[in-house]
Every structure is written in C-alpha cells, then in structure tokens.
Homo-oligomer: A and B are copies of this chain.
C-alpha cells in the first residue's frame, strides 16, 4: 500500500483512499477487470464509491501510464496494471484475458520495428492480441 501511494504521488496525483483502493483492486484482481468489477470489489471497503469516480480515477491512471486500457471485441473496457512488457491471450469463447510474458517475442518485435521504417509513421508501442482457446 505504501508502494501504491508512492506510485500515485510520483505521478503528480493526490493520494486518496479511492485511488489507492482502485489501484489495489486492479492489481489484486489481476484479471483485467472492468470498471464495474473494480467498483464491486472496492464496495466492501468503500461502500459509497461512485461509478463516476471509478471512471475518473481510471482515466487519470491511464493518462499517467500507471495502468492501461485492454481493448476487447465486446463493449466494455478493461484495465491492466502496467508492469513488465507483456502481451495478452484472449479467449474467444469466454471473456478471459491472460497476461503473456515472453521476452523472446518482445525482443523480436522490438528489433523488427527498430530496423523497419514505416513511411509517415512513428511507432510508439506494439501490442499483440493472441486469440484462441484455453484448454478445458
């Protein structure tokens, strides 16, 4: 929690109980939660959190690069704590999204885009969506 405070503070945001709880929720849930998942999770400790606050806080965290949006083919946004570089495994049969850490892959892509020059485009980030199925 101390570390979370520092992270929030370091990014020029005031440390509030709501921000701490939301950041903690994203990390603890570690399943790329939706705003609603997060709200439900922290309602236990913060019974009168407002959805608007959750969205506000999420937006400010995204803007600071503390978390990032995980896009899906469904109509809900999901959120992920920004830690080591990784990609995502998307299950095509459920809403499950898992992290996929693979340094070799990250390096391959990094090298490729360092030497590749895309005309009229400056690359800032690469994200890989690996779509498939988890074994049952």
Contact = CB atoms under 8 A, between A and B. Distances in A.
Most buried by B among A69, A112, A121, A124: A121
The A interface is mostly helix, strand or loop, or mixed, namely strand
Given A71-B71, A108-B112, A126 B130 contact: yes
Interface string A95-118: 000101010010010001100101
A26 to B, nearest CB: 16
Contacts of A135: 120-122
A8 to B, nearest CB: 22
Contacts of A71: 71-73, 129
Interface in A39-84: 69, 71-73, 75, 77
A121 B108 contact: no
